Structure 1
Amino acid sequence: MVISVPIVLLLAAATLLLLRFKAVGLGAAVAVALFGFYLAGTDAADTVNQLVTAVASALAGIGR
């Protein structure tokens, strides 16, 4: 999927900014990262992938 790498980089940057500005603690950031890692191995991964693709397509359509 073409959009997965930019989303990963965007989410990583957002996480680093939240940690930098102390909006979230290190423990919470690790917990959310582990949740995403384990969620990717479940049947819900396809649904999440389709949802993110649909939202990205909708956002791309707004700019046209």
Structure 2
Amino acid sequence: MAVSISAVVLLGIIVVVLIRGGTVRPAPALACTGFGFFLASTGAAPVITSAISTVTGWIASL
């Protein structure tokens, strides 16, 4: 749970910085956010969560 909250905060900060910097427009950012919410409710969510947990575990072991 702590990893997912940290990832959400980090990704949220990155999106805000990209929007404010003019790299990403608000409409595509909202589309990607909506895609993420819909993706989280599909069968792919456990696979994605497992992959993220594996990567963060690997990084922590370095």
Q: In which range does the TM-score fall when normalised by the shorter chain? A: over 0.9
Q: Secondary structure at the match of 1:36?
A: helix
Q: Deviations over 1:28-58 (max 9, x none)?
A: 1001000000000000000000011011111
1:38 — aligned with what? 38
User: Which stretches of structure 1, 4 residues or longer, exceed 4 Å deviation after superposition?
Assistant: none
- List gaps (5 residues or longer) in structure 1: none
1:59 — aligned with what? 59
Q: Alpha carbon RMSD of aligned pairs, Å?
A: 0.7
In structure 1, distance between residues paired with 2:30 and 2:50: 25
- List gaps (5 residues or longer) in structure 2: none
Q: Give how far 1:2 is off.
A: 2.4
The percentage of counterpart residues that share the same residue type is 32
Q: Give how far 1:61 is off.
A: 1.2
In structure 1, distance between residues paired with 2:28 and 2:55: 26
TM (norm. structure 2) is 0.94
Total equivalences in the alignment: 62
TM (norm. structure 1) is 0.92
